[in-house]
Amino acid sequence: MAVNLTAKSAKELPVIDGIQIYVGQAGIKYENKNDITLMVLAPSAQVAGVFTRNRFCAAPVHVCKEHLQAKQGVRAIIINTGNANAGTGQHGRDDAKNICTAVAQQICCDANQVLPFSTGVILEPLPASKIITALSKVKPVHWDVAASAIMTTDTVPKAATRQITVDGKKISVTGIAKGAGMIRPNMATMLSFIATDADIEAETLSRWVKEIADKSFNCVTVDGDTSTNDSFIIIATGKSGLQQINDDNTEQAIAVKNALSEVALELATAIVRDGEGATKFITIQVNAAKTQEEARKIGYTIAHSPLVKTAFFASDANLGRLLCAIGNSGIEDLDTDKIAMFLDNVLVAENGGRAELYKEEDGARIMKKEEITVRVELQRGNERASIYTCDLSHDYVSINADYRS
């Protein structure tokens, strides 16, 4: 069902020196399934992350934030599927910490050098002892296996990579992600982990992770919901042998940030391509806005309109719905007569209504495609944003209505 998305093989995903990946079977929700993933990091690694803004955020998110604040350096990442450890109160936080302690004992570090991540059912106690028992039996694997191990109801494992050469030395970026709605039915969470062997100074990395999230994971939407567990982590192992990056303006910094951004965007859009019931991948470009915030607001209003999403599903060039969504985005001083709207390269609306030369068959031709770009030209300023989404299909309702019942 995923729109133009295929799994990547081990060969396609470069190893990142300074990270060893393991998976194991704890039997959290299913037997004979890899449901825990352990990443062990070299002591040189810098780690930074951004987390869900949902106020009901999960226990592991609390613990991740606390451990990152301790600034002792991160030596391991432990991820489980099958249970989100969300809506579990103090007991859930204790469970997450006990798992960190067990990992720490195994690899000889402090418990607050371990970051825990969970994804799966909300409101059920985490079977922490199963995870702790399984830790001693994990097996070393490559990124492709980890991409599968962190899946819940994703239909395709999601991985992306870039390699660049700076000063004759190769730098690699490899990342994985999971998620198929911003929230899955009871199976919460978008998780993504990107690693590079570049050496990036802590504060720079902290800033980058936010900037990169804003242009990737914060630009996608399936159903407008933000999960209790959403997390995005960048790891810089520093093993490439190149100089440490501590500002944005060197050739190396630009190249590495660019590679990280590309991998993040590829993973973020992979989540949309694998969106629940998705049959189409839609890019919404809002240009010539006064501020980036208003461009994003209009993009998201279009992307979240169930009427727009069902029109894409039906391949119906129902332009009134798109214009209506623009008008509905809460920009009080928007002059609708100035707006031009394109479907791919077809001008469909201008001067507050249908474009004079627009023909229904041109719109219909574009709407039949699997990948469509809606471009909105506001003629108000110089800012812009792109939002990525999918259509709303019968399968979305089926997946979400039938999941538990």
> CA 232, CA 146: separation in Å to the nearest integer?
15
How many CB atoms sit inside 10 A of residue 1's CB? 16
Q: Which of the ranges 137-145, 243-251, 253-261, 305-313 carries the binding residues for a second copy, by CB under 8 A? A: 305-313
CB of 374 to a second copy, least distance (A): 15
> CA 359, CA 346: separation in Å to the nearest integer?
9
Q: Is 343 in the site for a second copy (CB under 8 A)?
A: no
Q: What is the DSSP letter of 78?
A: E
Q: Is 273 in the site for a second copy (CB under 8 A)?
A: no
> 269 or 329, CB closer to a second copy?
329
Q: Is 319 in the site for a second copy (CB under 8 A)?
A: yes
CB of 168 to a second copy, least distance (A): 48
Q: Is 295 in the site for a second copy (CB under 8 A)?
A: no
Q: Which two tokens mark 289?
A: 């806005």
> 208 or 396, CB closer to a second copy?
396
Q: Is 313 in the site for a second copy (CB under 8 A)?
A: yes
The interaxial angle of helices 292-304 and 306-313, nearest 10 deg, is 60
Backbone angles phi, psi at 245, to 5 degrees: -90, 120
Query: Per the residue annotation, which of 174, 189, 196, 221 is the catalytic one?
Result: 189
Choose among 85, 42, 35, 87: nearest CA to 64: 85
Backbone angles phi, psi at 123, to 5 degrees: 75, 15
> 122 or 245, CB closer to a second copy?
122
Give the x-and-dash track for 320-339 against a second copy (CB under 8 A).
xx-xxxxxxx-xx-x-xx--
Q: What is the DSSP string of 318-356?
A: -HHHHHHHHHTS--TT--GGG-EEEETTEEEEETTEE-T
Give the x-and-dash track for 84-113 against a second copy (CB under 8 A).
--xxxx--x---------------------
* Cross-sheet strand order for the sheet of 371-377: 220-221, 383-390, 281-289, 371-377, 340-343, 346-350, 353-354
CB of 395 to a second copy, least distance (A): 9
> 145 or 220, CB closer to a second copy?
220
> CA 304, CA 107: separation in Å to the nearest integer?
45
Choose among 357, 392, 135: nearest CA to 275: 392
How many CB atoms sit inside 10 A of residue 335's CB? 11
Kindly identify the residues of this chain, within the stretch 114-173, that bind a second copy according to CB under 8 A: 121-123
> CA 299, CA 302: separation in Å to the nearest integer?
5
Respond yes or no: is residue 189 known to be catalytic: yes
Pick the binder of a second copy from 190, 349, 376, 387 (CB under 8 A): 349
Helices (H), 191-279: 202-214, 251-273
Pick the binder of a second copy from 167, 248, 293, 316 (CB under 8 A): 316
Q: Is 57 in the site for a second copy (CB under 8 A)?
A: yes
Give the x-and-dash track for 176-215 against a second copy (CB under 8 A).
-----x-x-xx-x---------------------------
Pick the binder of a second copy from 98, 101, 155, 226 (CB under 8 A): 226
> 70 or 314, CB closer to a second copy?
314
> 186 or 285, CB closer to a second copy?
186
CB of 163 to a second copy, least distance (A): 37
Q: Are strands 19-24 and 36-41 parallel, antiparallel or unpaired?
A: antiparallel
> 251 or 402, CB closer to a second copy?
402
Choose among 398, 367, 391: nearest CA to 310: 391
List residues with catalytic annotation: 189
Binding site for a second copy (CB under 8 A): 54-57, 86-89, 92, 121-123, 181, 183, 185-186, 188, 223-228, 304-307, 310-311, 313-316, 318-321, 323-329, 331-332, 334, 336-337, 349, 351-354, 392-394, 396-398, 400-405
